[in-house]
Chains A and B, each alone.
Chain A
């Protein structure tokens, strides 16, 4: 049983630095292509949207976006809801990536090389929030010296560690689900893989996948909001 990421090709940039063409990259491109095609089709249909929805597609898209917008507004307030543009794309990518296992792909999120950059983006956005919205009277800088100045290195590490904790949480859960499902499929002979593993797949691939995409995005929002001015925090 092999849970490794399979590499197919390498593109060398230097002798010791190369880009790997592997399962994760191919799955990411595939998922990206599916999402982009869906977005293009949706874009054409959005132009035909009526004030009173007439199609099921409009209802679904409206419900999806409105529910997400309510979530962003609920966590980040209307003032910072512009972050929703980033998180909407992110949650869609994470959802589809996390449940891609049921289509026989190796989820891109089961690779640390995918989860860490996304989590690190959250840390960048935290600093963006602090610099843009919390720089009055140097509050953003002062936060690093609280409760006393010697805590400054710890505060910096605390911020940076969020990228590690977020990325490892998602990576660990996705790899865990991958291994559990791999073991379950390995337990049964081929004919037995049709029933019970399918039901378990609903939980490990779909429910856990959707849940961890949601958790990742929700935690990212809370981390970013922790750098907002105190009066704007809920």
Chain B
């Protein structure tokens, strides 16, 4: 029955739609042809491209997730460093305040010391002035005594004793008064 497997003959037959014993064979051959072509296209083209697209989609999704995680991490770090920065600023303010306070105290102390020193200097100057006044008084007294004695000697034509000279001098000084010396 199946003895003519390789028996091929030339034919010049033609048809538009033929339903006979050969149709089933043609359908079977076409079915195998189509399935083979579809399998090859699917295997070589569709699946690799879909695989590539899925892999790329997953890669992009992973990268987006990674970027979101990085962003979250960066935000946390930013907050962390922001807190540190604020603490540093506060610390700086505290240091500055302490420094200002210390400087104020130093300033007050220096001013106080300076005032004390100035007062001491004024005091010393006043004492110096007093000493100078006393010294000037003594010198003036001596000179007046000498002048008065010379004048008295010339007027009286005689010499005066030291007791007389002192007496005359004291009287003259008391008449002049302190205002005259200061002026």
Contacts and interface: CB of A to CB of B under 8 A. Distances in A.
B180 interface: no
Given A19-B25, A93-B38, A117-B27, A10 B46 contact: no
Contacts of B31: 117-118, 120-121
B33 A28 contact: yes
A77 to B, nearest CB: 16
A7 B14 CA distance: 6
A18 B50 contact: no
A49 B14 CA distance: 47
A90 B33 CA distance: 11
A4 interface: yes
Interface stretch (B51-59, B66-74, B88-96, B149-157): B51-59
B39 interface: yes
B161 interface: no
A39 to B, nearest CB: 4
Contact of B36 (A6, A32, A117): A32
Given A14-B1, A17-B25, A93-B37, A46 B49 contact: yes
B7 A11 contact: yes
Contact of B21 (A11, A16, A31): A16
Interface residues of A, number: 61
A36 B27 contact: no
Interface string B77-120: 00000000000000000000000000000000000000000000
A84 interface: yes
Main SS of the interface on chain B? helix
Interface in A88-126: 88-90, 92-93, 108, 111-114, 116-118, 120-121
B160 interface: no
Contact of B56 (A3, A51, A86, A116): A51
A24 interface: yes
B9 interface: yes
A108 B86 CA distance: 80
Contacts of B26: 19-20, 22, 24-25, 111, 113
A65 B44 CA distance: 13
Interface of B: 1-2, 4-17, 21-31, 33-42, 44-50, 52-53, 56, 59-60
9 contacts: A25-B30, A42-B44, A43-B45, A61-B45, A69-B53, A89-B46, A93-B34, A114-B34, A121-B35
Interface of A: 2-22, 24-25, 28-29, 31-32, 35-36, 38-40, 42-43, 46, 49, 51, 61-62, 65-66, 69, 84-86, 88-90, 92-93, 108, 111-114, 116-118, 120-121, 175
